[in-house]
Structure formats: C-alpha cells, structure tokens
C-alpha cells in the first residue's frame, strides 16, 4: 500500500503548473520566487490551486489562506514538502 514517491521538485512543478493554468500564462512565465499576487490571482484562484494541491499531493484540510501565508512557489513548496514528510498521528500510533 505504498504511494508513488513525490519529490519537492514534483511539488514545485505542480504549483507552477497550477499557477500558470489559473493565470492563463505558460508555465515558463511563472518564476518560483515571485508572489502569487503578481499574476493577478484572486481568492477563488487560490482556492482552486489549494484543492489541486490537496488532490495531487494527498493532503487534506489545507488552510484556506495557505497561498497568502506562503506567497511564492518556493515558499509554498517548502511548507508543503514538510507537511508531506511529517508522519501523521495515525502512522505514529500504529508504530
């Protein structure tokens, strides 16, 4: 029952793709160190990106303001990667 491993680079690429789709620009036009607001993303776009992150990264219940708290691809990649790397309470209890 092992999941396909996902790397921090995979998370970064997912975020870049999601931002590009929401901003209607090519992924190459999304520098990882620019604020999401520089692409004109609104709260609805942020919610859409958050839902895609949850689905693709296997995370549930991400805070609604996550993109505003970590406003660049680089910053959000780091926090998502940490969330994905932390053992869950269920996993810790099973050991």
- pLDDT tens readout for residues 44-88: 888 889 898 888 888 888 888 888 899 999 999 999 988 888 765
Please indicate, yes or no, if residue 74 is contained in any of the structural domains: yes
Please indicate, yes or no, if residue 88 is contained in any of the structural domains: no
Please indicate, yes or no, if residue 92 is contained in any of the structural domains: no
Please indicate, yes or no, if residue 3 is contained in any of the structural domains: no
Please indicate, yes or no, if residue 41 is contained in any of the structural domains: yes
- Tell me, what CATH number does 32's domain have? 1.10.1200.10
Count how many domains the chain has.
1
- Cβ pair 73, 30 in contact under 8 A: yes
Of 57, 45, 48, whose CA–CA distance to 14 is shortest? 57
Please indicate, yes or no, if residue 70 is contained in any of the structural domains: yes
Please indicate, yes or no, if residue 34 is contained in any of the structural domains: yes
pTM for the model stands at 0.80
* Domain, as residue range, for 68: 8-83
Query: What is the residue whose two structure tokens read 């949850």?
Result: 54
CB-based contacts of 93, cutoff 8 Å, min separation 6: none
Query: What is the residue whose two structure tokens read 């839902």?
Result: 51
- Cβ pair 17, 23 in contact under 8 A: no
Please indicate, yes or no, if residue 1 is contained in any of the structural domains: no
CB count within 10 Å of CB 27 equals 12
- pLDDT tens readout for residues 5-44: 788 999 999 999 999 999 999 999 999 999 998 988 888 8
């Amino acid at each position: 029952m092992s999941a396909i491993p996902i790397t921090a680079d995979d998370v970064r690429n997912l975020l870049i793709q999601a931002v590009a789709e929401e901003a209607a620009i090519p992924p190459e036009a999304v520098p990882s160190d620019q604020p999401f607001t520089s692409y004109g993303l609104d709260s609805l776009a942020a919610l859409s990106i958050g839902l895609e992150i949850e689905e693709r990264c296997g995370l549930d219940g991400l805070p609604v303001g996550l993109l505003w708290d970590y406003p660049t691809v680089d910053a959000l990649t780091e926090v998502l990667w940490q969330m994905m790397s932390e053992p869950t309470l269920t996993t810790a209890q099973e050991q």
